[in-house]
Structure 1
Amino acid sequence: MTVPPRYRLSDAEKDALLLEQAALIERLAARVAELEALIGKPKKTSANSHIPPSQDGPGGKARKAKRGRKPRPSRPGVARPLAPDPDRTERCLADSCPHCQAALAPAAQRCRHRYDHIDLPEVRPVVTRVELFGGRCGQCGRRYRAEPPAAMPPGTPFGPGIRSLLAYLHHSHHVGFERLSRLLKEVFGLTISEGAIANAFRRMGSAFDTACAAIKAKLLTAPVIASDETTTRVNGVTHWQWVFQSDDAVLHTIAPSRGRAVAAAVLGDHQPEVWISDRYAGQQELGRVHQVCLAHVLRDVQYAIDCGDSVVAPKIRDHLRWAIRVGKRRPGLRDSTLAAYAAKAERRLDALLGVPAAHPAGRELQRQVKAWRGKFFVFLSDRRVPPTNNGSEQEIRPSVIFRKVTNGFRSDWGPGIHASYRSVTGTARRQGQSAWTAIRHLIDGTFVVA
């Protein structure tokens, strides 16, 4: 005997179920097609993303070599120019003719060849023994002692030249404490321990604090400020090194946070007219107008091209490159011409955002561009603004090398000294001074922020 089913679907319920299943199948098919398109997704590298070149892997250099650059044109050979004021001149006169051995008179000879021989003398520290005399006063009976020379106070035996050299070699050339101690002993004949080097750096703290306060005050008067950040290690814990720079000042700071509060604390009540950075959320809404780094945007566009989008991404790439080329020509363009270029750039980008993108990578790129619309071509309407944030990246690059060589900081005071050193030398470079000159002026007490 057959048992009848407990529940039977009506015709309307069957039709509704079939429609629901059909819609589900359609969504799943679209998702499968999207995932199949992503199966051949290329690997992210420094050429198409924000990944640093060190993480490109073993094939990174090969890919770059394959893409290659145009060979540099050859140049005519140029000899090293002679020194304008040689310390010593060695005049060599011939005694006899090398062909017939005839005796030669000095008066008949003239200079036939001239060249410089350059060498370094043996460098050894100059030790000055300071003796302070004193005695007991015959009138009041109290003891007295002569005052020490102002340039040679008691305390550390190392003068400003040695302290400047220590800071210069460690922070500019990334020489670690152990190698720095060995270098001074072998090259200069100066015995100094790693602990003495650390003490010398700690004593520079007050001079660095004064200089950084003046640099910060100069920075906060700038109408255009750019910023970037990178990771560093402090006692084995990840921190972030921030750089804020304008045309006249560079300020570094190392903080345990990557949040927006770090930039807000540096700016205080100051809001620059234009802020330049990448698209990291912690650096948004800090200026009245924001210019995003087009170099970062171009890497994202290149990734969309590598993923297979051949419709939208190549056109956006060409358009951004055209805008950057126009930016380089700004000194020779009139304001009206530049305004016309800015309007043309906006119209073209709007048109590209309206192009139907068949590839998922193209649709994702359009979504990202729409999210940052209005922050791409500020440099076309303001001559003070660069199209990229390369200035900040160049300022922070030496600290990235320092991190790779030294593996970070092992003290609580080390990050502050390094950030201050980079601030002083970066600001001095904008004033036409070298890092060595800047750090020597700082230790001598003559460093001035122009």
Structure 2
Amino acid sequence: CGTDVSSQAQRCRHRYDHIDLPPIRPIVTRVELYGGRCRGCGKRYRADAPAGMAPGTPFGPGIRSLLAYLHHSHHVGFERLSRIAHELFGLVISEGAIANAFRRMGAGMAAATKAITDKLLTAQVIASDETTTRTNGITHWQWVFLSDQAVLHKISKRRARQVAEGVLGGHQPDVWVSDRYAGQQELGREHQVCLAHVLRDVQYAIDCGDRAFAPKVRDHLRWAIRIGKRRQSLKDTTLASYAAKADNVLTSLMRVPIAHPAGKVLLKQIKAWRGKFFVFLTNRKVPATNNISEREIRPSVVFRKVTNGFRSDWGAQIHAGYRSVTGTARLSGQSALSAIRDLVDGKFAVA
């Protein structure tokens, strides 16, 4: 009606947020270093550069960290990185400049990887896995080794046992967790095989027609895994009785006559790995499966599928270092972008 209500008491009738991003543009700082010739000694002199703005690459740590984050965490190729920088941030940077920015991270990556390796070798339980990658069009292998405090990625030309032995350097953890690949056997005092992989083989025997032996093994392994998920709420004596029961039941299942060929193959496999199924029921720190390694190496598998690998050996090593740094930082709750920024700033430290 047009009445003046400015002097009346009012209360909030509607509340909402409006969120937007301002245009993002790089901050360019021109640095001029003055100097001259000393009248006393006759030598030329020049002022020192401001801290963090030494001559060399014009791109600061924020830009280098973001480029590494987008490339290695989100699988953005060099050409698209250059376009994103120009179209989204108003930053003109070539693919060659991006490559040079990554190459300069090599020394920091090497130092961080050394610290992560030292931390890894203090662990009592180490899990590991490997997958293929491509470097210069040649198949290489990307390994991952992890504990509850460190994650180490390593890209090697070989899948052989010597890769893991080279990382361990004579160290032998209490328990090694992996699949049943021969190159990862006898690296720890005890070995927990991944029961998820075993269940896959059991399911294959069921699919082939074994209806007597394989289903019982499947049910028994699933039972053991469920017990493992409740370990923290169980007393030591209770857990020990469950471990004994798991072993005894599996022994009794193996004594039953088996007629189906697929069941016989499965029985042979179980006999080969007989003592490595239920270590997790005697050690609370040991997982029943190797899913932690599978999850850690999965982003690199996606990276390989999107980018088709690496064009240089140094590029592969930078990726392995990046995955090691960000994987280790994630264990302490730090984001990948924050971790790589700390690395570029020379502040990265293993907790």
Instruction: Decide: shared fold, TM above 0.5.
Output: yes
Aligned to 1:340: 241
Secondary structure of the structure 2 residue equivalent to 1:241: strand
State yes or no: 1:175 paired with 2:105.
Answer: no
**Distance in 1 between the 2:7 and 2:244 partners?**
78
In the TM superposition, what is the alpha-carbon distance from 1:117 to its structure 2 partner?
A: 0.7
**Distance in 1 between the 2:136 and 2:327 partners?**
26
Aligned to 1:233: 134
**Distance in 1 between the 2:56 and 2:89 partners?**
22
Secondary structure of the structure 1 residue equivalent to 2:311: coil
Task: Count how many residue pairs are aligned between Structure 1 and Structure 2.
Answer: 351
Amino acid at match of 1:369: I
Amino acid at match of 1:228: D
Q: What is the 5 A alignment of 1:185-334?
A: 185-334=86-235
Amino acid at match of 2:40: Q
**Distance in 1 between the 2:7 and 2:289 partners?**
66
In the TM superposition, what is the alpha-carbon distance from 1:108 to its structure 2 partner?
A: 2.7
Secondary structure of the structure 2 residue equivalent to 1:228: strand
Amino acid at match of 2:23: E
**Distance in 2 between the 1:405 and 1:182 partners?**
17
**Distance in 1 between the 2:141 and 2:8 partners?**
72
Secondary structure of the structure 2 residue equivalent to 1:108: coil
Secondary structure of the structure 1 residue equivalent to 2:52: coil
Identity across matched positions, percent: 74
In the TM superposition, what is the alpha-carbon distance from 1:109 to its structure 2 partner?
A: 2.2
For structure 1, the 5+ residue unaligned runs are 1-99
Aligned to 2:325: 424
Q: What is the 5 A alignment of 1:47-446?
A: 100-446=1-347
**Distance in 2 between the 1:251 and 1:214 partners?**
10
In the TM superposition, what is the alpha-carbon distance from 1:398 to its structure 2 partner?
A: 0.4
**Distance in 2 between the 1:239 and 1:141 partners?**
58
Summarize deviations over 1:288-335 as a string: whole Å, max 9, x none: 000000000001101111111110000000000000000000001000
Summarize deviations over 1:160-192 as a string: whole Å, max 9, x none: 000000100000000000001000000000000
Summarize deviations over 1:377-397 as a string: whole Å, max 9, x none: 000001110100011111100
**Distance in 2 between the 1:377 and 1:316 partners?**
13
Summarize deviations over 1:178-216 as a string: whole Å, max 9, x none: 001000000000000000000000000000000000000
For structure 2, the 5+ residue unaligned runs are none
Aligned to 1:448: 349
In the TM superposition, what is the alpha-carbon distance from 1:228 to its structure 2 partner?
A: 0.1
In the TM superposition, what is the alpha-carbon distance from 1:150 to its structure 2 partner?
A: 2.0
| TM-score, normalised via structure 1 length | 0.77
**Distance in 1 between the 2:180 and 2:202 partners?**
14
In the TM superposition, what is the alpha-carbon distance from 1:102 to its structure 2 partner?
A: 3.3
Secondary structure of the structure 2 residue equivalent to 1:154: coil
**Distance in 2 between the 1:202 and 1:241 partners?**
19
In the TM superposition, what is the alpha-carbon distance from 1:101 to its structure 2 partner?
A: 4.1
**Distance in 2 between the 1:102 and 1:126 partners?**
50
**Distance in 1 between the 2:335 and 2:255 partners?**
50
Q: Which stretch of structure 1 is more off in the superposition, 134-143 or 200-209?
A: 134-143
Summarize deviations over 1:106-140 as a string: whole Å, max 9, x none: 54322111111111111000000000000111222
| TM-score, normalised via structure 2 length | 0.99
